[in-house]
Structure 1
Amino acid sequence: MSQPIIVVERLTKRVKDSTGELTILQDIDFALMPRESVAIVGASGSGKSTLLGIIAGLDTPSEGTVRLAGQDLFALDEDARAAVRAEKVGFVFQSFQLMGNLTALENVMLPLELQGRRDARKAAGEMLHRVGLGERLHHYPKVLSGGEQQRVALARAFVVQPALLLADEPTGSLDFATGEKVMDLMFELNRERGTTLVLVTHDRQIAARCDRQIRLEAGRVVPMEPSEVALP
C-alpha cells in the first residue's frame, strides 16, 4: 500500500505584532496520498496561504511537523529544504511569477537548468507544446495574455515532474472563461503526471473538482457543510 506524500501533524503558526501574539494556524492535521487533489478553502485571513507556504517549506511553523515523501521538512536546514522543493514541488501563483526578462521557453527551462538537466531546452519546448503554446516559445511575458502567462506557469511547474503541486488562487487574475480553460488544463496535467495537488481557492466550483476539501476558519480546520461540498 502506498504511503502518504504529505503528512501534516499538529501544525501551529503564531506571530507577534504590536498587540501581542497572534495565532494564524492551530493544530492542523491531515495527510494526502499520491495523486490525490485537495482544495483548501475559507475566508480571507483564515490561514490558507500561510498553510500552503509551510507545506512548501517556505515558512516555518511554531509547532508541529510537515513530512514530504517521508522527509521531515523542518529537520532540514534552509538549503536542504530548497533542494527538496526543487526536486519534488511545483508552484502556480495567482500573479504568475514569470521572469520578465526571459522568454516563455527560458522561463520553463529555468527549473530544469537549476537541476542540471542537459535536455532542458527540449523538455521545456515539449511542455510548452503540451499546454498549447508551441507558437509562443520565444515571446516574453509582457506580450502574452494573462491566460497564456498562466499556461507558461503551468508548464514551468509540471516540467520538473513534481510529486506535489501547490497552487495559490491560480485563476484569481483571470476572467471566468480563461480561468475555466486554465483549470481544465491543470486538472488534465495533474492526472497525466500523477501529481498530488494542493489548491487554495475561493471558487466553490473549482474546489468541488478536487477529491476533497479542507476548510479553515480562524486558523483551524472545521467540518465542511454538505452544501459546500457539492456544486451549487
Structure 2
Amino acid sequence: MSDVMIAVSQVSKSVTDSTGTLTILRDIDFTVRRGETVAIVGASGSGKSTLLSIVAGLDTPTQGTVHIDGTDLFALDEDRRAALRAAKVGFVFQSFQLLANLTALENVMLPLELAGRRDARAAATAMLQRVGLGERLGHYPKVLSGGEQQRVALARAFVVRPAVLLADEPTGSLDFATGEAVMALMFELNREQQTTLVLVTHDRGIAARCERRITVAAGRVADISSGAATAAA
C-alpha cells in the first residue's frame, strides 16, 4: 500500500467566456500522505477553493490528474467518482450544507443509509453524542446555533470514517470562540480516526495546527512549508 493518499499532478483550470479566458489554477503539484493534516492557504481569489473542489472530483481540471488512494479521479465517469467520494471522502463546508427538512439525527444518518448501513440510527446517535449534541438529536437546523450546525456537519462527515476529510473554510461562518471549539473538535476526531485532512482556510492560526501548509497565490503553489504540528512532533 502506498503512503500517498492524495496526488495532484500538473493540475490547471481555465474558464472561457465572452471576455476571454481566465486561468484560475496553473500547474499545481503536491502529494498528501496517509493520515497527514494539510492546510491550503492564500488570499481570497487565489484559487484555493477551486483546487479543493478538483481534489474532491466535484470540479474538473482543464488539464492534470488527481489520484485518491491510487485511483485516478478523472479516469472515472461521474457516477463512479460519486461512488468513490461516498466510500472514501467526507466534507465539511463553511455554510454547513445541512438538509433543512431533516433533524440533526437524520442529517447524520443520511450517508450511512445511502451506504446501506443497518446500524445507521445507532451509529449516528453515537457520533452526535461524541460531538456533544446528544440532547439535540430531534432538532432541525433552523433551531440550532451556527456552532451546533457545524458540529452536526462534523458528525455527518466523520460517521462514515472517511479515509479523506476535505474542509472548506470550516470556521468562516462562526465567531472566534465557536470557531476555536469546532476546530479543536475537528482535529480531535481526525486524530481518533487517523483521517487524511485537507482544509482550506484564511486563518493562519488554524493552518499552523496542520503538519504542512500549501500557499496558493495567483493560481500557483507559491510555497509548501511545515506547520507547528510538525515542529512540535
Give the TM-score band, short-chain normalised.
Answer: over 0.9
Structure 2 contact 209–228 (Cα < 8 Å) conserved: no
Residues of 2 paired with 1:16 and 1:161: CA distance? 38
Query: Per-residue displacement from partner, 1:46-87 (whole Å, max 9, x unpaired)?
Result: 001100000000000110000001000000000000000001
Q: 1:18: how far off? A: 2.4
Matches within 5 A, 1:108-147: 108-147=108-147
Residues of 1 paired with 2:9 and 2:57: CA distance? 14
Q: 1:21: how far off? A: 1.0
Matched position secondary structure for 2:30: strand
Matched position secondary structure for 2:4: coil
Name the structure 1 match of 2:74: 74
5+ residue gaps, structure 2, are none
Name the structure 1 match of 2:222: 222
Structure 2 length-normalised TM:
0.95
Name the structure 1 match of 2:42: 42
Name the structure 2 match of 1:207: 207
Residues of 2 paired with 1:212 and 1:38: CA distance? 5
Q: Aligned pair count?
A: 229
Structure 1 length-normalised TM:
0.96
5+ residue gaps, structure 1, are none
Residues of 2 paired with 1:16 and 1:88: CA distance? 32
Residues of 2 paired with 1:207 and 1:73: CA distance? 26
Matched position secondary structure for 1:5: strand
**Structure 1 counterpart of 2:42, one-letter code:** G
Name the structure 2 match of 1:55: 55
Query: Per-residue displacement from partner, 1:79-134 (whole Å, max 9, x unpaired)?
Result: 00000000100000000000010000000000001101111001000000000001
Name the structure 1 match of 2:24: 24
Q: 1:22: how far off? A: 1.0
Name the structure 2 match of 1:190: 190
Residues of 1 paired with 2:19 and 2:45: CA distance? 17
